C-alpha cells in the first residue's frame, strides 16, 4: 500500500489541486518543511502516481530558491485544498515557514483553525524574529481548537545569527484552562515562563503525558504572597519525577533562570582514539538527570539554589559521574555553564 509521497517545487493551479485532493480519500497527514527527502521511508517523486488514492501522507519539501512567500503559497494552497475537500487531517507539521507572511492568508488561517478539531499531531517551527510577529497568537488559536491532540511540538527558535532575540511567553500559547486529555508527547523550545506556570501546564496532563522535551527555556521570577521568588530548574526536575510518570525525558540547549541556574545542555559527543571504547552515553551528567526523571533513584543535582554561582559550579562538578580512567575522553560537557 502506498503511504508516502514527496512533492517538490510544485506549480499547480488551484482548481487542479482541489481536484487532486478529491482523489485522495485517505489523506490524513501533511508535512511541510526541509529534510523530508532524507526520511528512510520516503519514496522518490513519481509524478504519475503523485495523487494515488491510497496515499495517506503528503511530505512536501519546498525548493530552496523559491522565496519565502512562495513557500507559504505552497503550504496555504494545500491547506485550503484540504479544507475545501473536507479532509480530516490528523497530522499537520509545518517547519520553517515564514509566519509573518501568513498575514496575507488570514482566510486560510481561519480554515486551518476550524479544521484543527480533527488533528492529533501538530508540530510547528518558527524561526528568528518572526517569532515576535504574532505567530504565537495564531498557533494558540489552532491548538485550542484541537481537543484530541496527542502530540504537540512547538519550536520558537530564539537565536538569529547567534544573537538571542526576545523569547516568546509560554502563557501566550498555553492558556490556563486549556487541557488535552489525550496528550502523550510535548516538545517546547524557545520560551520564557515561570516555574509555577510550567508546573501547572505539566500537572494538568500528568495522567496522559509520556514524553517531554524541553529546550531553550528561561524561567522567570514570580510573585507569591507578596514576595518575589526565583524559579528553579532543580525544583522543576524534582517535580517532573514526583508528579509525572514519563517514559522519555530530554533536556537540551539552554536552561536558565534569573538566579544562579544558567546551564547549557548538549548531546554527548566524545572523541576517542581508534581501538579505544567510547564513553557510554548513559554515563554523562545529562543522561543521569534525564534518567532520574524517568526512573528515580539518587537525585543527581545538588539541592541549594540560593548560593553564589561559583559554589554552584563546584557542587555540580562533584556530582559528575566518575568514568573509567583508562578510557580516552574529553571532559563531560553535557551539562555545564557557558563560561566554563
* pLDDT 10s digits, 10-26: 445 667 778 778 877 88
CA distance 158 to 171: 16
Query: Which residues are within 8 A (CB) of 122 and not within 5 positions of it... i.e. 6 or more apart?
Result: 91, 92, 93, 116, 142, 143, 146, 149, 151, 152, 153
279 belongs to a structural domain: no
223 belongs to a structural domain: yes
Phi, psi for 65 (deg, rounded to 5) = -120, 20
C-alpha cell at position 290: 534525564
pLDDT of residue 30: 84
Average pLDDT over all residues of the chain:
74
322 belongs to a structural domain: no
Beta bridge partners of 7: 60
Mean pLDDT lowest among 160-169, 224-233, 247-256: 160-169
pLDDT of residue 21: 81
pLDDT at 264 over 60: yes
177 belongs to a structural domain: yes
CA distance 328 to 305: 33
331 belongs to a structural domain: no
Domain, as residue range, for 181? 6-264
Please give the tally of structural domains in the chain: 1
Q: Stretch 180-209: mean pLDDT, rounded? A: 95
The residue among 330 and 333 whose pLDDT is bigger is 333
The SS3 assignment for 215 reads strand
Q: Which of 47-56, 121-130, 141-150 has the highest mean pLDDT?
A: 141-150
Q: Stretch 51-59: mean pLDDT, rounded? A: 60
pLDDT of residue 261: 81
Pick from 326, 214, 338: nearest CA to 277: 326
Check if the beta carbon of residue 52 is closer than 8 Å to that of residue 22. Answer: no
Q: Stretch 74-98: mean pLDDT, rounded? A: 84
317 belongs to a structural domain: no
C-alpha cell at position 104: 496575507
Check if the beta carbon of residue 31 is closer than 8 Å to that of residue 93. Answer: yes
303 belongs to a structural domain: no
The pTM is what?
Answer: 0.81
pLDDT of residue 44: 37
The residue among 284 and 217 whose pLDDT is bigger is 217
Q: Stretch 175-190: mean pLDDT, rounded? A: 90
> What is the gyration radius of the CA atoms in the chain, in angstroms?
22
113-140 confidence digits (pLDDT tens): 889 999 999 998 886 555 455 678 888 9
Residue that is written with C-alpha cell 553564589 in the block: 308
Q: Stretch 47-53: mean pLDDT, rounded? A: 47
CA distance 299 to 303: 9
CA distance 136 to 141: 9
Question: Residue 245 — pLDDT band, cuts 50, 70, 90?
Answer: very high
Query: Which residues are within 8 A (CB) of 307 and not within 5 positions of it... i.e. 6 or more apart?
Result: 260
Neighbours of 234 (CB within 10 A): 15
Residue that is written with C-alpha cell 504519475 in the block: 48
pLDDT of residue 323: 43
301 belongs to a structural domain: no
pLDDT of residue 208: 98
Amino acid at each position: 500500500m502506498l503511504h508516502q509521497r514527496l512533492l517538490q517545487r510544485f506549480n499547480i493551479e488551484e482548481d487542479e489541486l482541489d481536484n487532486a485532493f478529491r482523489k485522495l480519500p485517505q489523506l490524513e497527514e501533511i508535512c511541510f518543511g526541509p529534510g523530508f527527502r532524507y526520511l528512510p521511508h520516503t519514496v522518490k517523486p513519481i509524478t504519475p502516481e503523485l495523487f494515488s488514492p491510497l496515499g495517506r501522507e503528503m511530505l512536501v519539501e519546498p525548493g530552496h530558491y523559491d522565496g519565502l512567500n512562495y513557500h507559504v503559497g505552497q503550504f496555504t494552497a494545500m491547506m485550503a485544498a484540504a479544507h475545501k475537500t473536507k479532509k480530516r487531517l490528523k497530522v499537520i507539521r509545518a517547519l520553517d515557514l515564514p509566519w509573518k507572511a501568513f498575514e496575507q492568508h488570514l482566510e486560510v488561517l481561519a480554515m486551518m483553525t476550524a479544521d484543527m478539531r480533527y488533528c492529533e499531531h501538530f508540530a510547528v517551527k518558527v524561526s528568528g524574529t518572526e517569532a515576535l510577529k504574532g505567530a504565537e497568537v495564531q498557533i494558540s488559536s489552532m491548538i485550542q481548537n484541537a481537543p484530541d491532540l496527542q502530540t504537540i511540538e512547538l519550536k520558537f527558535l530564539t537565536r538569529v545569527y547567534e544573537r538571542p532575540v526576545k523569547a516568546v511567553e509560554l502563557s501566550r500559547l498555553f492558556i490556563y484552562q486549556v487541557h488535552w486529555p489525550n496528550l502523550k508527547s510535548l516538545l517546547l523550545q524557545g520560551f520564557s515562563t515561570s516555574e509555577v506556570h510550567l508546573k501547572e501546564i505539566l500537572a494538568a496532563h500528568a495522567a496522559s503525558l509520556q514524553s517531554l522535551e524541553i529546550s531553550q527555556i528561561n524561567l522567570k521570577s514570580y510573585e507569591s504572597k507578596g514576595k518575589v521568588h526565583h524559579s528553579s530548574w532543580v525544583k522543576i526536575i524534582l517535580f517532573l519525577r514526583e508528579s509525572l510518570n514519563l517514559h522519555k525525558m530530554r533536556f537540551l540547549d539552554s536552561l536558565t533562570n534569573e538566579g544562579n541556574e544558567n546551564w547549557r545542555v548538549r548531546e554527548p559527543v566524545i572523541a576517542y582514539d581508534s581501538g579505544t571504547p567510547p564513553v557510554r552515553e548513559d554515563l554523562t551528567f545529562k543522561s543521569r538527570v534525564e534518567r532520574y526523571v524517568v526512573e528515580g533513584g539518587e537525585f543527581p543535582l545538588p539541592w541549594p539554589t540560593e548560593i553564589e554561582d561559583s559554589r554552584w559550579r563546584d557542587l555540580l562538578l562533584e556530582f559528575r559521574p566518575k568514568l573509567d580512567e583508562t578510557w580516552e575522553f574529553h571532559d563531560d560537557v553535557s551539562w555545564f555553564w557557558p563560561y566554563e
